[in-house]
Structure 1
Amino acid sequence: MNMLHLAETGAVATRRRAMVDYVMNRGNVEIDELVTRFATSRMTIHRDLQALSAQGLLRRVHGGVTALPNGIAESSMLYRRRRAMREKKAMAAMAASMIVPGDVIALDDSTTACCMVDHLATMGGVTVVTNSLGIASTLAGMPSISLMALGGRYHPIFDAFFGLMCEQAIGALRVNTLFMSVSAVHGVNAYHQEQEIVKAKHALMRSADRRVLMADSTKFGSNALNRLADLSEFDVVITDDGLDPAIRDSLLDHGVTLQMACLCASNAVTPE
């Protein structure tokens, strides 16, 4: 987690999450309105906005604050940690069932990959390669896991490392399985909002013998700026059983190997 997250108490984090939602719903808000809405001082509001602006969630303007474009805000770690968690946990359980002792796996910076960490705690002899600071920080406390953290330029919005150094480090490695996610799936193509993240994900894909894409059902039919890959480039695509049947059938018709995690129980999985 980045230093802003570490510094936040539970009450502060809760207020700031509510503030992001409030501003995103309205587009732009004046400071005085936030003071009244959150029953706190102007100084506290200014501190909150400074932190949220540094995380790339909001943009400060004279006398107030505005929401960033949806694609930017939705790419942030703070936003992603809160959405579709039930679906992510179900997909993470299915993905973790594919890992065996002795495997070398790669986890990207996605919050879905982050949900796999709890399952790794009970596995021995697994090596994990990741560019996610949050994942690396958690795994560092697990003696049964061999951790390889990828360096590069740290991006606090994503709580992960990217850039040339990161891509070169990935290129020197070979992993059994990559587990990753994306911002959107449209047709049979996966997309991501951020170009630099696409480059890192491409490097991870090249390093893996097996590629597993995890995308919850709400991402299908949506758009993001940069095309990442055709779904046929993944050995398995994991989603949840909330996926529209028409989309499911279309993917199967295109030869996509689809597995659907059951939402009726957090650890139930249903291969398609």
Structure 2
Amino acid sequence: MATVEEVARRQRAIAEQTAQRGHTSVAQLATEFAVTTETIRRDLKALEHQGAIRRVHGGAVAVEQHITTPSQQHPAGVHTEATHMRHRQAIGLQALQFVPKPQAEIFIDAGATTEAFATVLARHYLGQRWHVVTNSPAVAKIMCAANIPDVSVLGGTLRGHGKALTGHTAIRALQRLRADVAFLGTNAVESDRGFATSSEAIAEVKREMLLRARHAVILSESFKAHCTSEVPFASFEEVGTVITERPLPASPLRCLRDANTQVVIP
């Protein structure tokens, strides 16, 4: 068993590597430090609590560095949840242009960014004839609170801390449906694999939504381009549009352009 000093030394090294590289993966760190992936996940949890890194699916990203003025209260280097919410809201506002008017069949995936989009969509509901289908109880609640009358929730098994409905019931329901547009979240944007998520069960629902929609829109904060995740669910060629809050790194951006995938930035 490692001593307290050894754990602290390893965690300092992880924080330094993440800051230098911009991102690190659990698998990569486990190999480098010759420990289990469970040990690395505990390290990342501790480092996030200290504000040294931000955990993402499959690894960690460096906290965003920014300049503060004396009047600002947040310490430099802390990427707050309020910042992420602003990013997601900006992405959601851009996504509105992809909703057909005045009638639309819409798939909305589960996830923090798609929930933010649902909030924006709800604010812009003025009696449009929208049929919203979702695998997210949270998205359904947002839609119903806005008095959108035609909202369908897929059945299935709750995954991801109760945020996503998955499984055979959800898949069978989607196979009977079609949508004008599907709004999907992602855990990672990977140059070599495309878009990826945390489990096969979640990936299956995303793939089915994508398959059944005329147009697929990925809603993703830009830091996801520094992440890796376990299960790919779509290639760049299969997605029509990616909306993010700031320019992506050169490698995934080049892949998206090569695939003729539209990239929208507020």
Tell me the TM-score normalized by structure 2.
Answer: 0.65
What is the CA distance between 1:250 and its match in structure 2?
Answer: 4.7
When residues 220 and 140 of structure 1 are mapped into structure 2, their CA distance, relative to the original with a 3 A threshold, is: same
| SS class of match (2:145) | coil
| SS class of match (2:261) | coil
When residues 212 and 156 of structure 1 are mapped into structure 2, their CA distance, relative to the original with a 3 A threshold, is: closer
1:71 aligns with 2:57: yes
**1:51 alignment partner in structure 2:** none
**2:92 alignment partner in structure 1:** 92
Identity of aligned residues (%): 21
- For residue 216 of structure 1, the aligned residue among 221, 242, 245 is 221
Per-residue deviation, residues 124-163 of structure 1 (Å, max 9, x unmatched): 2211100100111221223244101111112361422111
Instruction: Give the whole-Å Cα distance in 2 for the aligned partners of 1:142 and 1:91.
Output: 20
- For residue 46 of structure 2, the aligned residue among 20, 25, 33 is 25
**1:7 alignment partner in structure 2:** none
Per-residue deviation, residues 52-107 of structure 1 (Å, max 9, x unmatched): xxxxxxxxxxxxxxxxx963799xxxxxx877222211111111122122101000
| SS class of match (2:165) | strand
- Does the Cα contact within 8 Å between 2:104 and 2:130 map onto a contact in 1? yes
When residues 155 and 82 of structure 1 are mapped into structure 2, their CA distance, relative to the original with a 3 A threshold, is: farther
- Does the Cα contact within 8 Å between 2:182 and 2:215 map onto a contact in 1? yes
When residues 22 and 229 of structure 1 are mapped into structure 2, their CA distance, relative to the original with a 3 A threshold, is: closer
**1:9 alignment partner in structure 2:** none
Instruction: Give the whole-Å Cα distance in 2 for the aligned partners of 1:242 and 1:87.
Output: 12
Which residue identity is paired with 2:228?
A: N
**2:37 alignment partner in structure 1:** none
**2:187 alignment partner in structure 1:** 183
Instruction: Give the whole-Å Cα distance in 1 for the aligned partners of 2:147 and 2:191.
Output: 42
1:231 aligns with 2:232: no
What is the CA distance between 1:252 and its match in structure 2?
Answer: 1.9
Tell me the TM-score normalized by structure 1.
Answer: 0.64
What is the CA distance between 1:186 and its match in structure 2?
Answer: 1.0
When residues 156 and 83 of structure 1 are mapped into structure 2, their CA distance, relative to the original with a 3 A threshold, is: farther
Which residue identity is paired with 2:57?
A: G
Q: Which runs of 4+ in 1 moved over 4 A?
A: none
- For residue 146 of structure 1, the aligned residue among 137, 147, 150 is 150
Per-residue deviation, residues 146-192 of structure 1 (Å, max 9, x unmatched): 10111111236142211110111111111110000110011161111
Structure 1: 5+ residue runs without aligned partners? 1-20, 29-68, 75-80, 262-272
**1:131 alignment partner in structure 2:** 135
1:193 aligns with 2:193: no
What is the CA distance between 1:197 and its match in structure 2?
Answer: 0.2
**2:171 alignment partner in structure 1:** 167
- Does the Cα contact within 8 Å between 1:128 and 1:147 map onto a contact in 2? yes
Which deviates the most, 160-169 or 188-197? 188-197
Which residue identity is paired with 1:215?
A: S
**1:119 alignment partner in structure 2:** 120
Per-residue deviation, residues 214-264 of structure 1 (Å, max 9, x unmatched): 121101132111111111101111122242356434532443221112xxx
Instruction: Give the whole-Å Cα distance in 1 for the aligned partners of 2:163 and 2:136.
Output: 6
Aligned residue pairs: how many? 196
When residues 251 and 210 of structure 1 are mapped into structure 2, their CA distance, relative to the original with a 3 A threshold, is: closer
Which residue identity is paired with 2:114?
A: A
Instruction: Give the whole-Å Cα distance in 2 for the aligned partners of 1:200 and 1:247.
Output: 24
Instruction: Give the whole-Å Cα distance in 2 for the aligned partners of 1:118 and 1:179.
Output: 13
Computed over aligned residues only, the root mean square deviation of the Cα atoms, in angstroms, reads 2.9
When residues 253 and 105 of structure 1 are mapped into structure 2, their CA distance, relative to the original with a 3 A threshold, is: same
